[in-house]
Every structure is written in structure tokens, then in C-alpha cells.
Structure 1
């Protein structure tokens, strides 16, 4: 018999079971779908993080390579140190290319005197100031063939026997009396002579020489050297103590041999300018011999006794080579010829400018010029293409004028302005003044150049007397 109630219950139970089964399957499907999505998102996040880390590493490597000198520190003090603005070197007045305040330079003290320099130095730390460095650099970059030093020797002091590897030396004695010695090739002849204030001495490159103060007052020399590089000098005592004892003994063959050499002791203080405290015990009956004129005048010139070239505003005297030496004395001709035999010799002169006088604008064809102010005061002008650099000068100042540079000097004191000048030529000095080159230029050329009528240039007078140093 069919039981319809039982069938209905059975069908309902099966339906419910089926529905529950479907619900479970649906939940499992959703769970499985969510798991796949989670894995996908997790992988995506991992890829993003990995990419970001890679970009960061590449960026750091790039920054490090593009800035190799930058050290990154995270400590506060270190970071501040790295970001500090570097010190900017102060600008140097252009005038110091042409001006050196020598009295402000370093004084090299010795037992017997002192030396000061206006020179180029290989090590910039040897300059005392930016201005001094500017001057030294100018001398070197212009290949000036010039260095200047002042030498002060105390009474009875000695500038030790020495020689210079890379320069001829020209000296002017400003004050005192000195005895000079020069050892010739082979040492067979030692030329000795006495000099007084206003006279010139000359020592060719690699020539051994000495200077002895034989007066009661200090000797004061101005020394010019024909090099724009650092001067190279060797003193005899330095050579002696640097030579091995056995070599010195075999070379000199003294009585007592090597034991004689060992008696010498090098002093702790540089003896470049020498004056032993017990000099009276060491030296007796010293003589200061004057060699024959034919030897002396190769190394000596009496500048103060030479011809004076007179101008309305001053006087010039010259110790230089003259192509035509007919006006020279016999002794001056010896100096003239000997000077010209040596490469890179200098020409020396004195320039005296009277009160309110002007050494008019001029330039030199064949020489750089260096000058030292002996007395007075004045104003110097350097004429460039578009401007003029002017500066005041006083006693002890050194000036430098490169070859071809137009310049002028005006006396601004009541007393005479006196210079000692050196020129970097062993030939006859060649100079052109402003009035000379304007007078030599045709009027119609000047009229066209300056946009003035030709007749205007007739107003510039031509004087019979040379106006190189003029007065108003």
C-alpha cells in the first residue's frame, strides 16, 4: 500500500539534504575563489614592494656615482659639516699684478744681515699674502726674466761665497762700502774690487762670488736676477758639509787628511749672510785687494759717475749695452762688451723725476721692466686696452711693467722721486714715448682716427728738447 505521507516526508528530507549539500559546495567555491584572489593580491603586493626597492637601490647608486665626493652621514653634526658653504677667496686688486709692497714681505734674518724678496715661488704657501702671490704669479706668467731682492749686510758681515744656477745677477749698492770677489773659470784668477754707493756689480750665471762689508755702516744692495722662476742658489759652506768626508779629503788633500775635515762643524743657523761673534779671534790682517781695471770692469760699472741724460723733468743714467759705444770710456767699453756676451743679461738705470715731473706714457719694445723706489713718492699708471690702473708708490715699493705695456710715473712729492730700474734685455733698450709716436703719425691718419679736423693736430707742438720726463 502506498503511504503518501511517508513519501512526502522522504521527498522533503531528500530536498533538504540536497539544499544543504549545495550550500556547502557554494561556500567551498567562494572560499576557494577568495583564496585565489588573496594569493593574487599578495603576489601583486610583493611585486610592487620588490620594484620599489629596486628603484630605490638604483637611485642611490646613481646619486653616489654622480657625486663621488659627497659623503652622506645622518649624524646631525656631520650633516651640517658637509653642507657648510666653502670659503670664497677674496678678490685681489688688479694693481698687485704690477705692485709689491716689499717692506711688508717676510724678512729672512741671518747672523750677518737680512734678505727680502719680490719673487715667484713654486709653493704658494711661501707667500705671505694674496697680494704677494698675485705679484709673483704675474712675474712668472709674463716670463719676465726678473726677480728682485734686497740684501742688508752688517758691518764686517759677509754674503757667503755662492753661485746661482739659473740667473745672472745685477746689483746696485744703495749704501755702504763693500769688497767683492769673483772666481773665474778654472779658479786661476779671483777678481776682487771695492764698490761704494751708486755703483753696479755684475755676476754671470754659475759664477762663484762673495760680498764683504768693509765699512762701519750697513751695506744695502738692490739685487736683480734674470729669472722669473724660483731662484736657485748654492752656498760654499752648504756644498762642503754635504760632501762626504773622504771625498772632501781626497779633493783638498789637507794636512792631517780626513781628521782635518772632521774638525769642521756645521752651524745650526744658516750662514748665508755670515758674522761670527768671535770674528776678531778668527781673522787677522785681512786685506782687500783691488784687481787690475781690465778684470774689474767686467763685473763693475760706476753708474753714479756715468753720463747723465738730462730732461726738463728729471735725469736718467744707464748701465746697459750700447751698440755704438763711441761715447763710452775705455773701462765702460769693457763692461759693455762683457755684458753683451752673456745671455739674458739685464740693463740697469736710475730714474730721477723732479717735483711735479712726469715720466710720460711709454713702452719698451724688447724688455720687461722692474723698479724699486729709493726715495720720494708718486703715482703710477698702467694703460690697458679699455682702462687705466693707477696706484700710489712710496719708498721700498717694487713695480713691474710687462713688455709692450704702456705706463707712466708722476712725482707727487716735494722731493725728487728716485728709482733704480732693471730691464730684461742684454741688448740696447728700445723705448717709444707717447709724444714721439703721435708726432710720427701722419696728421690725416690722426684726423680720420679721432674724428677731428686735420688742422687740429698742428696744435701739438714738437720740442727740440726730449720730453721723456717733462714738466708742466
Structure 2
């Protein structure tokens, strides 16, 4: 009987094997890191998950319901669940997402219908730049160059902060340095190749310029200082400047002693590493005490390295104001031209382009957006906040619109001997009307409203002059 029962059980075994293999088994350890080969390719079970479309709850802003090419600004900061939708274009997004970026970059999430193709990336936030911290709580510096903005080939920037009495170490560099003081004040000092000396105090809104190879230093005064540096090389690296400490550390002491007419022992206490940004002795209140007299004398005023831009009155226009500094008024900065532009709420820096230079722009205050148009038909709209950098290549048209409820302020920097631009409105208004009518099909009433003068900043519906 036992043999007969065993024989019957063996006969049933082939039918039971699939059930045994499918039965759940006790697992005393974690599953292996990798699955089995049976998971590759076609499904053996055809057990495809089914279900309903995710229920994404959202509401659209009025501008999202308009025809996409109207392209109204969408304020997603006040929206719980912003969506990539304009008119009949786009669709909902159930995630995963970075809601913070979506809210502050609405023109990336839901671009105007006029955007097309791909331009360069014309935006970089200093907030994403690595911060280099000075020693002894002396300050910090962060930079933007072609490492993070590959197409910004003509200019690079640095945002630097020095605490009271702190120094940016004595140094020079291959690139030319143009600077705008953002807040606070500092004392700048230099010596030129003729042995002429320079020292001056600058404060918020002032500008300085040091040509390539001119050694200089910067020391913060009582309130500390923050300044913007712009260099005429897109691949400039702030970490590769020529520092006084490094020169002394990497020159034989016997050679230093011979060169400076002293003993080798004179260099026993020099720092054993670079200082870069470091705390120092407060500068004397009387700047005359730091005027070094040499046989060559001081640098003539006409060749001065500083320009007190803060004392220049702004030129008022309908939508804000503009003030310009370029070699016509600041000769030593022979290839740097800049404009500080203020745009009232609802206003816009008019559509324009620069025929001879790229534009490097830093946003000082407020928020705005810009559309970069690149021939033949590429256009991208970017959203900017204070602390952001914009970069618009030579002859590529763009505007900057104030999308906030406070004044928008930014500085445009060019590599040019004079600050100039071409304005779309002035061009169309100054072209014979019949040519414009035949080309753009604009009405006589529209053409009659155009202005032949450059506007710089145009007013919006919420703008007060």
C-alpha cells in the first residue's frame, strides 16, 4: 500500500509544481539587489497595472486661459499647484516636481506661445554659485563664468562681501576688472606701471576699474561692503588671480632678499598660505594718511580708477529711469559701458539689442522677465530675481519687464567704448510707413502712435512716471 500511495503522489507531482512555485514563501532575509532574468522583455503574465488618470486638482490663472501667443505674465507664487498650461496647449503635471522652482519660473513651466526652439541659457542665479568663505569671518565671494554659463563667453562676474576692516588681498589678474558697489563702502588702492599711486573711498552706487596687470587691494570701511565685479573674459576664474602671498611663497627667499634689498630673515613670518579674504587693521579715517608719495606722483584725475556714479542724477523716462557710465565720462574703463536701469511696476525696458557687444546684466532689486530672440526663429522667456545674472548675445533682441509690485533695478554691462543700443520701436517708427505696412500689415492708427525717439523704459498700466 505504501508503494502504491507513493506512486500516485509522484504521478500528481507535475501538476502540483506550478502551484508550488507560485505559492508565497517565507523570506527570512531581504530580497537580492537584482531581479531575475524572467523580468527582462515581454511580460510572461500580461499583468499590466490598470487604473484611472491621476486626479490633479488645480485652478488656472486668467492668463492661462488666453490664446498662448498673448503670453501674459503668470504669477505662480500665489497658486497652490501651478500647471504647464496655456490656452489649448500643455497639460497637467501630477509630479514629482520642485514646486519652488515652478513658482518662481512660471515662464519656464508655462512658456508664452511665442517661445520657440532653443536659445542659450541666458540665466544664472548667484544663489546657485559655490560660495568661497574668507578666513576669520572676513567675508565671502561667489562667481559666475563659462563653467556655469557656457555661452557667456565675453564677460564673467563675482559677487563679493567684505566685513568691516576686511581685505581682498593685494593682487592682480590678466583680465580687466569693472566694479559696482552694491552696499556699504570701501577703500581701493593701486599702483600703475609708471609708479603713480592711487587711493580712494567709494560707496554704494560708485564704480571702479582696474586694467589688466595693475596690482590693487580693497578694504572694507566701517559698515563693510558688498560689490559686483565684472571681468572681460567669460572664462575668468577668481581663484586664479595673482596674490601677493603666493608671489612671496613661490619665489626663493634669497631672490626676494636680493630684489628688495633686505635679508632672508625678513621673510620668516610671511603667511604660509594665501589670505584671499581676511580680517585686517581698520583703515585710518583720514585717507591722506594712506597716500604714498613717490617720485612719479599720483595718478591724474583724468586717468583715475574710480567714478562716483552714486552722485550722478538718473535720466527720468516714462516708465522709470536710466543712468549711463562709459568711456565718454570714465575714460580709464576704455571698453566697459554700463547703464543702471530702474523700471517702475508694470513698466518694461524696451525691446532692444546691442549691435557691437554682448550684454551682461545683474539684477539688483525686484523681479522681472525677458524674452531672448535669436535668429532665425528661436525664442526663450526667462524669469529673474534680485541676485540673478542675465546674458544676451550681441544683436539678439530682448526686453526686461517688471513683473513685481516694487521697482525693478538692474545694471547692463557691455564691452563697448560707448553705451548704445537699437530700439525696436524707434526702428519701426523711423522707417517709411508704407514699407512697414507692406511688411507687418500694421494699421495707420498704430503707426501714428509709434515714437521716433528712443524710450529706454516704457510705462505700463500700473506705472507712475
Q: Does 1:224 align with 2:235?
A: no
SS at match of 1:162: strand
Query: Distance in 2 between the 1:120 and 1:223 partners?
Result: 15
Counterparts of 2:424 and 2:242, CA distance in 1 = 44
| Structure 1 residue 318, shift from structure 2 partner | 1.2
Alignment correspondent of 1:247 = 255
Match of 2:384 in 1: 393
CA separation of 1:356/1:390 partners in 2, compared to 1, >3 Å: closer, same or farther?
same
SS at match of 1:318: strand
2:169 to 134, 137, 160: 160
Residues 170, 237 of structure 1: CA spacing in aligned structure 2 closer, same or farther, 3 A cutoff? same
Who is 1:364 aligned against? 354
Separation in 2, partners of 1:183, 1:373? 32
What is the rounded CA distance, in whole Å, between the counterparts of 2:358 and 2:196 in structure 1?
34
Structure 2 residue corresponding to 1:415, chosen from 395, 402, 406 = 406
Query: How far is the alpha carbon of 1:287 from its aligned partner?
Result: 5.5
- Distance in 2, Cα, partners of 1:451 & 1:119: 43
Structure 2, unmatched stretches of 5+, are 1-33, 41-107, 109-117, 292-297, 461-465
Aligned-pair distance for 1:285? 6.5
> Rg larger in 1 or in 2?
1
Q: Which moved more, 1:245-254 or 1:257-266?
A: 257-266
Tell me the residue number matched to 2:49. Answer: none
CA distance in 2, matches of 1:411, 1:285: 42
Work out whether residues 372 and 399 of structure 1, in 8 Å CA contact, stay in contact via their aligned partners in 2. yes
SS at match of 1:214: strand
Between the aligned partners of 2:302 and 2:450, the Cα distance in structure 1 is 46
* Runs (5+) with no aligned partner, structure 1: 1-76, 84-92, 122-131, 323-331
Q: In the aligned structure 2, how far is the partner of 1:247 from the partner of 1:202?
A: 32
Q: Match for 2:278 among 269, 274, 280?
A: 274
> Separation in 1 of the partners of 2:206 and 2:283?
28
Asked whether the equivalents of residues 125 and 387 of structure 2 are also in contact (C-alpha less than 8 Å), the reply is yes
Per-residue CA deviation, residues 191-244 of structure 1 (Å, 9 max, x unaligned), is 1111111100110110000001121x2310000011123344101111011100
SS of aligned partner of 2:151:
helix
Identify if the C-alpha distance between structure 1 residues 263 and 429 changes in structure 2 by more than 3 Å, giving closer, same or farther: closer
1:310-329 to structure 2, matched below 5 A, reads 310-322=316-328
Supply the distance in 2 between the matched residues of 1:452 and 1:288 (Cα, whole angstroms).
62
Closer/same/farther in 2, CA of residues 107 and 96 from structure 1, 3 Å limit: farther
> Normalising to structure 1: TM-score of the pair?
0.66
Tell me which protein shows more helix as a share of its residues. Answer: 1
Distance 1:390 1:310 in 2: 27
Query: Is the CA contact (8 Å cut-off) linking 2:198 and 2:299 kept in structure 1?
Result: no
Within the alignment, does 1:235 sit opposite 2:248 as a pair?
no
TM-aligned CA distance change 1:375 to 1:96, over 3 Å: farther
Structure-2 separation of matches of 1:362 and 1:173: 26
CA distance in 1, matches of 2:303, 2:188: 12
Structure 2-normalised TM-score?
A: 0.67
**Is the CA contact (8 Å cut-off) linking 1:304 and 1:317 kept in structure 2?**
no
